[in-house]
Every structure is written in structure tokens, then in C-alpha cells.
Amino acid sequence: MLQSTGRHRRTRTLSVAAAVAVAAGAGGVHLGFSEDGASAAAPTKTVTVSSTAQLEAAVKAATAGTVIQVRGGTYYPTRTLKSSVNGTSSARITLKAAAGAKVRIDGSKLPDGSWLAGIYGDYWTVANITWQNSPAQGFVATSSVGGVFKNLVTAHNGDSGFTLRGDGTTNNLVRNLDSYGNYDPSGHGQNADGIAVKFGSGTGNKITGARLYNNSDDGLDLWQFSSPVTIEHSWAYGNGGNRWKDPDFEGNGNGFKLGGGGASVAHVVTHNAAWNNTKHGFTENSNTGAMSLNRNTAYANAGSGYYFATGKARLGKNLAVRNKGGLSKLGPSTVSAGNNWDKGIATPALKSTKASTAYGARKPNGSLPTTTFLTTGSTTIGSTMN
């Protein structure tokens, strides 16, 4: 029997999540004691999975504090990986690749119309996993609070690669996402975005360090999301091209579509770049809100660099070069100052127009690759491309 130390001992019972994981041979349970022997704020249950069945069971049974580590390989779930369980700010639910592992979760065996992943809970961390080949959406978080989604890839899915949606979508961080090649054949390409923040509300959501490219519709789409979203240090390129040889193709091809569907929202868009999209680089899409766009770059888009014809957007220190539809198209309520189309503002020379380094591998921590593409050296105008 343990000798009393003056502290109350708390009896712990293995959760359903841990019991399922252990029964599946998937791992163990770590109770989360601090170095002095006192109990930590919440137990951490670490589950290591190495088969599709174990992965499905672990996600289904996760509870607050569960850490699901996925060993390297490709996993083929036969049903949507789905959970409505909440973590807490001190006991998050984590789904991640094991250290050094390359993990692909592939939806090619899912029934038609299925999402690959659907998270309906709060305080999830999902990291270092590729979500690919879903018949519909790749990864969807609905009405989630406090999510951290980092170093993910969402590729070649049958609708948008990554989606935040629903009311109560609050304080989520999407960091270092690569989302590409997503295409919805049933809609002839008109719905599949790199990242979609749609049909919902909630403050504090941020997207940073994303590369959104070669999707059938838009790079980023904020359709009918009624709360401000912050988008920073992200790149959208090559969207809207008919790479699928669809004779009835309907993809739009904006880099950053910042509203629509009656929304009037003041999104904040800083240090992003859009190039080689088949429509506009940046567009309000009829969002009448007082959006703020600062230090962005639009290059060689088929439409306008910046299309803000109806709203009250405030554009400052943005750069537009070689866009076929013109540098910008602005309405009478738009505030424009310090941009290279404004009177007295010179267009700085670009250091490079070769994008190969921007397409390269990310840094070990998942951040964007170093590039001189579209950089100018200016400290007053255009994206810094980092």
C-alpha cells in the first residue's frame, strides 16, 4: 500500500477509448503525472495504430486527452473517420503521424458521397497527415472550437480539400496546409476549393502558411461565412484549370474568394499571393463588408488582380503585375491607398518570375519554402512571400 503524502489519491478507470485501443492491440495509456508525482491537469491516453481497423476504432472511441499516433503507411478506411467528442483546452484530442512517419489516409474505398474525415468536436489537434482520394470532401471540421490543424495535405478529393463550416466555428488555426488537385466531377468542378470556410459563423479563425493550388474551383472560398476570418502568408495558384478534361467544366478559378451569398464581413487578408489563376487573384465576390487587404501580391491572373467593385474594402500597399483583366477593378466605396495602381506609387521590380522554388518542399517545421519568386525587396508594398 502506498504511504500517504497528504494529498488525496484519485482513482482512475480506463476510458472506453483506452479500452478499445488496448483491446485492438493499438497501444497503451499514460496517466500524465508531473515530475513531482502530482497528477497533471488531465490524463493523456496515447494510442498507437498501425492498421485501418485500429485507426477507425481509435477515432471513434477517442475522449478528452487521447493522443492517436499513426504509424507510417497508407490507410484505407471504409467509412468516414468521424467524431463528435470534445477535448478541452487542457486535454486536447490529438490525431497525428508518429514521429518521422509519412501517413496517408486514402478514401478510395469509401462509398460514393462520403467525406474522408468529419470532426464535430472541440479542441482537436490534427497534424502531419495526408488526406487524399475521397469521393467527396477530404477533411471537414463542423462547428468546432479551438481546433489546430497543421502540416496537413488534402489532395485529389472529390470536393473541397479542407473545410471549416457551421455556426460556432471559433478560434480554429489552419497552419501550413497544402491543398491541391481537388475536383468534384458531379458538379463539373464548380465546388472543389483548396480550403473552404463556408456556411457558418464564429470569430478567431486563422489560415496561415497555406498553398492552395490546381483545384477545380477556387484556392480559398469564404462563401456565406458571416464572421471575420484572418488569412495570412498563404499562396493560391493555378486554380480553375480544366485538368480533368471535363467537357462541361464549370470551375471558377479565383485565388482568394472572400465572401458571397449575402455576407457582409470584414475579413483580414495580409501577405498573401495569387498567381496564374483562371479568374481573379483576390475578389470580394459581392461581400460588402469593410475587408482589409494589405501587402498582398497578384500576378498573371486571367482576371483582375483585385476585384472589389461593390463593397467597402480597404486596400493598402498591395501589388498587382501582369494580370490580364487589369491590375484592379474597384468600386466607389472601396478605399485604396499605397497600392501600385494608385497615383504616385511606383511598381517595384520583381526579383524573380520563376515559380519553381515556391513549388518546392516545405521546411522541416512545415513552413513555406524559401523563394525569391514575386519578391521585390520592398518593405512598403507587396507580399514578402514567406
What is the set of active-site residues?
257
Contact 190, 252 (CB under 8 A): yes
Instruction: For the chain, give the secondary structure using H, E and C.
Output: CCCCCCCCCCCCCCCHHHHHHHHCCCECCECCECCCCCECCCCEEEEEECCHHHHHHHHHHCCCCEEEEECCEEECCCCCEEECCCCCCCCCEEEEECCCCCEEEECCCCCCCCCCEEECCCCEEEECCEEECCCCCCEEEECCECCEEECCEEECCCCCCEEEEECCCECCEEECCEEECCCCHHHCCCCCCCEEEEEECCCCEEEECCEEECCCCCCEECCCECCCEEEECCEEECCCCCCCCCCCCCCCCCCEECCCCCCCCCCEEECCEEECCCCCCEECCCCCCCCEEECCEEECCCCCCEEECCCCCEEECCEEECCCCCCEEECCCCEEECCCCCCCCCCCCCCECCCHHHHCCCCCCCCCCCCCECCCCCCCCCCCCC
Instruction: Report residue 268 as a C-alpha cell.
Output: 483580414
Q: For residue 1, what are the β-bridge partners?
A: none
The pair phi, psi for residue 97, each rounded to 5°, is -70, 145
The amino acid that residue 356 corresponds to is S
Q: For every residue of 212-278, which 3-state class applies, written as one string?
A: EECCCCCCEECCCECCCEEEECCEEECCCCCCCCCCCCCCCCCCEECCCCCCCCCCEEECCEEECCC
